[in-house]
Structure 1
Amino acid sequence: MSYFVKRDEGCSIYDGASTVNLIFSILITFGIIASYIPQYVRIYHKRTSEGLSTNFLLLGSCSSIFTLTNIILISSIARTCCISGELNMFNCINSQLNLIQIGIQCTCAILILVFVLFLTKHSLKQDKLEYQRIVQVGHWVTLHGVVSLIQVIIGLAGSRNLLYTIANTNGLLSTLLTVVKYLPQIHTTYKLKHPGTLSIPMMCIQTPGGFVFTATLYFTKGSHWSSWVSYLVAASLQGTLLALCIYYVYVKGQGEELEREAIDRIIQENLHDEVDRIQEDDDEEGSPLL
């Protein structure tokens, strides 16, 4: 499904969908879900955001919302063709597969942020200042979700020109963020010299999956280069990130040691802060009343 659709394209562009592409798209949909599970499990066991860039969490969530907003609006054109009876059942289902895929991918990406927010909140292994920044990220992502919902309502209720304008704006912003969202995480991993909570198995699944997903978008009826080029670049950048993590963990063999040192430092800082807080409470309780 194209991010940018010309105004003179009709329902015929969705005809002749490929059965092979349909099967691959369905498999990729399940693959998207499976690829995020190692990251969720790692956050659950680690109970820390150490190694995860807050900018990566922000840009990753927002790029997914931009993409979802775009595809909801653009896919509504095909849904109109389905309702009018100009497309058969097979072509209708095929025309909505990208909406399903991107909707699932958006949900999975935002769940990383949700897991970090809820599972690390009271953890001794979580840097408190970093957690406050992640809370701010949660606020921004929530606000973005509300704004996008309003955009969808306005786009679907307004004229076709307005729908195109909103969809293409979100598509452009999605492309931009999808391309650059890995840069802060690459910088963080390079600086720390260990992956931390970042899941290597997740990237092992998603990196080749990103190239396959790019191919399915490329071969989807009505596809445009703008609908797949951002995923191609993102898969390449994620591959760079994966190579860094593998190098630090398996080649240099220093990943676990550096991560352990970082976590120990955070625990000591949190314990020190907790002792100071208890001491302050005892001082206040023992102070004489005036």
Structure 2
Amino acid sequence: MSDTCVPHDDRTTTLLTTFICIGMAISYLPQHLKIIQSKSSEGFSPWFLLLGSTSSASGMLNIIVKQWGIIKCCRVLTPGNCMESTAGIFQLFLQWFLFTFILVLYIIYYPPHLKYVFVSVEDDNHGTRVPLLIKTSLKSENWKLSVVLSWIVFLHFLVTTSITFVLLLTSPSYPSPSPSPRNSQIETWATFLGLTSALLAALQYAPQLVHTYRMKLVGALSIKMMCIQSPGALLMVSSIALRPGTNWSTWLPYAVAGALQATLLTMCIFWHVRQKRLSIDDFGNPLSEEDDLDQGDSPVHVTAGPGAGVPVREAVGDAVQNDVRDEDESGEDTPLLGENGKHAKKGVKGLLNRFKLRR
């Protein structure tokens, strides 16, 4: 083992990888913080998060297979040489973790007012028709889809990781100069992971580009993150390509993703400029209450049941954030009031405002 394990001593590549890992962590921070601070993940396409998470997982497992011999050499290398040799693996692991964490935040901070179906009706109040939004007990299709796709991401990671380590641990001779059926299976699996990662990365940004174009809003997407990551993709591709044991199947996914992310960044900048012109925020809400009142819109009502409507401008309810079954069991028409009314109010007003913008 010691005869074949030569310490990886390429300071340039190591410094580049270290720089990229630090930059990657910094670049994802604005995106994570934006979702947490705004308490909303609206604006993300669940298909984008599915494809990104599965693509990064496949890419991470691909480099583990390709550098399995280097990992095994850590038994005879010093801790410093081991860390230097496996820095590329840590780089792709960090990429997978930080992106998948966006999916976790997406589910946690999914807008409560978008989890259920609202029906728009008009209430004739003293001869004046007032628009009402009635919350139903039906869960929205997009929320149900988001939950299903999250489970698919989890199962994909579980299955691919299990297959990868079963193949590697049951073939002690891999990698070996002498070909064997077992080694051939592992190489085929590594190529499959690389091609899968490249294909998913190529498709990853398509649903997000369509979703963002249709919304005509930036939403929870972080322009700061994309400004850092788009040019950083070139450095990441170079760092991975310089690693021993890697080939085009390892770095190609990140080259494709970088090009498409630059396209999404351009679109978001365009929508951001448009939002400033229309005096709305990233979620389509008026930047100030005065701006909203100046538009002369009629007060919007939201209700969790017959006769429970109250003006949105006054307050919107905790019922938007509570399970509808709790409301049904109580048998009471409860006004939608609560500590988080301000946030929910913006959500409902944003829905109506975005509807007007798209018209």
**TM-score for the superposition, normalised by structure 2:** 0.65
Matched residue, 2:344 = none
Q: Deviations over 1:37-80 (max 9, x none)?
A: 11111111222232100100110111111112212222212223
Greater Cα shift, 92-101 or 235-244: 92-101
Matched residue, 2:239 = 216
Q: Deviations over 1:232-289 (max 9, x none)?
A: 2211110000000001112563583572259x9xxx898547588677445599xxxx
Select the structure with the greater relative contact order (CA < 8 A; seq sep ≥ 6): 1
Contact 1:75 1:95 in 2 (8 A): no
Matched residue, 1:97 = 87
CA gap 1:277/1:96 in 2 versus in 1, 3 angstroms: closer
Counterparts of 1:255 and 1:132, CA distance in 2: 32
Higher strand share: 2
Q: Could you list the runs of 5+ residues in structure 2 that have no partner in the other structure?
A: 117-139, 171-181, 287-291, 293-299, 306-318, 334-359
> C-alpha root-mean-square deviation of aligned residues, in Å?
3.2
1:132 and 2:144 equivalent? yes
Counterparts of 1:45 and 1:162, CA distance in 2: 47
Report how far residue 125 of structure 1 moved.
4.5
Matched residue, 1:26 = 18
Matched residue, 2:154 = 142
1:235 and 2:227 equivalent? no
Residue in structure 2 matching 1:61, options 34, 53, 56: 53
Counterparts of 2:327 and 2:159, CA distance in 1: 45
Q: Deviations over 1:141-199 (max 9, x none)?
A: 11112102211221212332222122221111011111220111111111111110111
CA gap 1:269/1:68 in 2 versus in 1, 3 angstroms: farther
Matched residue, 1:107 = 97
1:165 and 2:188 equivalent? yes
Greater Cα shift, 126-135 or 162-171: 126-135
Matched residue, 1:154 = 166
CA gap 1:260/1:207 in 2 versus in 1, 3 angstroms: same
Q: Deviations over 1:67-102 (max 9, x none)?
A: 12212222212223454x5x7877644431111011
Report how far residue 32 of structure 1 moved.
1.4
Contact 2:74 2:82 in 1 (8 A): yes
Q: Secondary structure at the match of 2:68?
A: helix
Matched residue, 1:6 = none
Q: Which amino acid aligns with 1:259?
A: F
Greater Cα shift, 174-183 or 68-77: 68-77
Q: Which amino acid aligns with 2:25?
A: I
Contact 1:156 1:163 in 2 (8 A): yes
Contact 1:47 1:126 in 2 (8 A): no
Q: Secondary structure at the match of 2:63?
A: helix
Q: Which amino acid aligns with 2:93?
A: G
Higher helix share: 1
Q: Which has the larger radius of gyration?
A: 2
1:181 and 2:171 equivalent? no
Counterparts of 2:264 and 2:147, CA distance in 1: 25
Matched residue, 1:288 = none
CA gap 1:222/1:170 in 2 versus in 1, 3 angstroms: closer
CA gap 1:269/1:214 in 2 versus in 1, 3 angstroms: farther
Counterparts of 2:302 and 2:105, CA distance in 1: 21
1:78 and 2:101 equivalent? no
Aligned length: 267
Contact 1:56 1:181 in 2 (8 A): yes
Q: Secondary structure at the match of 1:196?
A: coil
The share of aligned pairs that are identical, in percent, is: 30
Q: Which amino acid aligns with 1:179?
A: A
Q: Could you list the runs of 5+ residues in structure 1 that have no partner in the other structure?
A: 1-9, 286-290
Matched residue, 1:247 = 270
Q: Which amino acid aligns with 1:151?
A: I
CA gap 1:151/1:255 in 2 versus in 1, 3 angstroms: farther
Matched residue, 1:260 = 284
Counterparts of 1:99 and 1:279, CA distance in 2: 50
CA gap 1:140/1:95 in 2 versus in 1, 3 angstroms: same
**TM-score for the superposition, normalised by structure 1:** 0.80
